[in-house]
Every structure is written in C-alpha cells, then in structure tokens.
Amino acid sequence: MNINTILQGDTLTELKKLPDESIDSCITSPPYWGLRDYGVDGQIGLEKTPEEYVVKMVEVFREVKRVLKKEGTCWLNLGDSYATTKVGNTETRKNSTRVTNSFKKEKPESLKSKDLVGIPWRVAFALQADGWYLRQDIIWAKPNPMPESVTDRCTKSHEYVFLLTKSPKYYFDNEAIKENTITNDNSNRDRDNSKLNNTPGRTKMAGLKTNNYEKRNRRSVWTINTKPFREAHFATFPEDLIMPMVLAGCPKNGLILDCFMGAGTTGVVAKKLGRNYLGIELNEKYVKMANERIRVTPTPLL
C-alpha cells in the first residue's frame, strides 16, 4: 500500500482495496446531504432522502472500521441542513471549482417543510448501531459563520465532530491537546492583584495528583474560525480544526486516512505534524489541487 498519496476514485471502491487494520486514524468530512452538486457521477450527498444518505455513510464507514487499527480513532465532521426545496450549489463549468446556485433538492416526504433534518446525529446513531463506539460529540463553534437572512431562528454557527473508535481502548494523547486554564490565560491581568492567592486561580481540587494547573483537559467545544481556500469552491477544513485530531488521535509517523480528501487540508496538517497520510477523492480536479497544496507544505524540522 502506497502512503502519502491520494487515490482518485469512488471512496467505497478504493477503501475495499486497502488492507485490514492498516490505518492509525481517519479524519474526514463527507459531502453533506443535499447541499452541493460537485458535478461528478457517483458522488455522495445527492441521495433523495436522509435515510438513503445514512445507509451510504454506514456502508462507507464499515470499510473504514475494517482498515482502522484496533487502537485507531475516527474523527467525523458533519453539518446539518433544513428540509426545503431551496436551491443548492452545483458546478457547471467543466474546468471550474466554483459553484452556481442551480441545484434544486426535493423535500423528503418524511419531513415537514422547515424541519431541521438532523443528519449528523442520524449518522452517528447509525454508526453506533453498526458497531462503532460513539465516544464524543465535539462542537465546532464558528465565530464567523455564514450569514443567514432568517428571522424565525438563530443563525447557525456550529457543526459537529464525532469521535468514533472500533475498540473501548484506543490511542488518545490527551496531553498533546491540553489547553491553557482560564486563569493562566488571564495571568498577566491577575498577577498584580494582591487579593488573590500567590498562584492565581490554582485552587487545588480533591483527587488531583499534580500541582501543575497551567493546563487543563481540552473541552468539547472548539472555537475555530472558518478559513476559505481561494482555489476551492467551498469552505475547507480549517487547519486549526484538524490539528488537535491529528495530535490526539495519531502517533508520530502514523498513517492518517481522509476518505473524502477534498482540497487536501488533512494531508497538509499531517505533513506539518510529522504524520503520513492517505487520501481518497472522487473529483480529479481536487486531487490535483490537494497534491499541489501538500507538495508546497514544508516538512517539519523535528
């Protein structure tokens, strides 16, 4: 099996060619249901109903589970949508990665108009029922969400990242992704406050075995800006979103799979952090784009 490469083709077909238990971690974001037409035959995301989409996701991630090592992790990012006949995005120009608003999706009969579809949790529960351990839901909070002209609900400013494993015990380096404590973040402001303890905010809690309170276990809400990539037609994975997944979920020199590689951000971050990558992407244009992005990414010094 070649590594540090991107396989061009249908993800399910290519996954079936990979050997059992060969992947340390899968980090991926499949096409969201009913959101975009990428202009490629066989693409996932244009299923007529949410139920059909969920069945396809289960089929794909059953293969991911097969190729994942017993101690491996899977990080799955999914966004949601509403039941509506609103036009979506599609590609119309042969050599373009831009989109136009000409794709119309039909409202499933099982849903009422304006219903939130609940795709992320539908998929998560289906994968759980198929044998995955659903270990955590992480909220990706976006300070700069896409504006919405809605007046009867709040603007959507979050997506989900699900941490899935194939075993109850798995590789997870929580030390690598610990965050500063709130008091440590404000230490400059608090340092001269004579009313505070000599170690501001470091009140020892029962059961702690260390006096190091500079860091705390990472919380499950990750506040990270979206960052558009000018050559792509969509807002790609932000590198800052992927980095903690790589650091916590894959050992140094391990192999990360992204079975919906898109613009290649997973490969870029893997290279920066001293991990190997393997991508799968249906669209030939994105394979070329991703390969070029990864090629110009510097190799880490250590």
> What does the alpha-carbon distance between residue 26 and residue 21 come to, in Å, rounded to a whole number?
12
Amino acid identity, residue 74? C
At 195 the pLDDT is 38
**pLDDT greater than 80 at residue 9:** yes
- The set of residues, in sequence order, having a beta carbon less than 8 Å from that of 24 and lying 6+ positions away, is 69, 72, 171, 249, 250, 251, 254, 255, 256, 275
Say which range, 35-44, 136-145, 153-162, 275-284, has the weakest mean pLDDT.
Answer: 35-44
Looking at residue 187, its amino acid is: S
Q: Which domains does the chain have, with CATH numbers?
A: 5-186+212-295 (3.40.50.150)
Instruction: State the average pLDDT for the chain.
Output: 84
Reply yes or no on whether the pLDDT at 11 is more than 50: yes
pTM over 0.85: no
User: Using one digit for the tens of pLDDT, what is the confidence trace for 75-130?
Assistant: 999 989 888 765 444 444 444 444 434 455 677 788 888 899 999 999 999 999 99
| Per-residue pLDDT, 198 | 42
